[in-house]
A and B are shown apart, each in its own frame.
Chain A
Amino acid sequence: MIAVCACPTGIAHTYMAQAALEKAALGRGHDIKIETQGAMGIENELSMQDVAEAQVIIFAVGVNVEGEERFHGKPSIMVEVGKAIENPAVVIEKAEKKGEEV
């Protein structure tokens, strides 16, 4: 799975969500790559290949996603950044379900 994390100031929440989702996903045996869109710009950018290979995309965002067109047509879930930080396991489970539907 892949994910995009972003928040309004891009100083803290973005990176907390990244760490929390990464840990929860690995804990459940998934490969995950997470792009952050924060005060330092886009980091760990998702390539076309990353997107093509992903079964599901998690958007953990409090602002608009930059380059959203990259992800058109892929199964995705949208959650609040805060939710991803506080309850990452629930978010990963939700993503699993979404990925299985397709």
Chain B
Amino acid sequence: MIIHESLIELNVTSKNKNEIIEHLTRKAVELGRVSDVAGYMQAVLAREELFSTAIGYGIAIPHGKSSYVQEPFIAFAKSQEAFSWDKRTDQEVRLIFLIGVPEEKANNLHLKILANISRGLMNDSYRERLVQATSAAEIVAIFGEMGL
């Protein structure tokens, strides 16, 4: 599965984008989804540099396509308080979805799930449930509903 309970962090206190991305990346490494923290983060931060991935609605979707990604994944973090994701735009963010896709043509099924979840995030009720959720299992269940 693209999401996994061990890729979820529910009470993030950091208000620093790089710290949060690194924290989630380390979880992805532990699960074997990413082979190298620095290598993958470079792709994510380069994308972030192009323009901020804060998209409104309190959401940021940092993502990287990289040969260091072994298997597509979404890692999720919920911040205790909203914070400014990027000084250039000053968007307040609480929900962070870190997405990883391999460099080589990724499996279409995985891409389809990612597309469905992206569409799902535009749905107010899914977003509200993600904000309210108190356990990793709940988050996984919500992603399941969005992605399938």
Contacts and interface: CB of A to CB of B under 8 A. Distances in A.
Contact of A40 (B47, B51, B108): B108
A39 interface: yes
A9 B63 contact: yes
Contacts, number: 63
A40 B122 CA distance: 20
A15 interface: yes
B122 A11 contact: no
A10 to B, nearest CB: 8
A86 B56 contact: yes
A82 B56 CA distance: 9
Interface stretch (B17-25, B32-40, B75-83, B113-121): B113-121
Contacts of B119: 15-16, 18-19
B65 A11 contact: yes
B118 A16 contact: yes
Most buried by A among B114, B118, B121: B118
Interface of B: 47, 50-51, 55-57, 61, 63, 65, 99, 101, 106, 108, 111-112, 114-116, 118-123
Interface of A: 8-9, 11-16, 18-20, 23, 36, 38-40, 82, 85-87
13 contacts: A11-B65, A11-B118, A15-B114, A15-B115, A15-B116, A15-B118, A16-B55, A19-B120, A19-B122, A23-B122, A39-B101, A85-B55, A86-B57
Given A12-B63, A39-B101, 11 more contacts: A9-B63, A11-B111, A12-B118, A13-B118, A15-B116, A16-B118, A16-B122, A19-B122, A20-B122, A85-B56, A86-B55
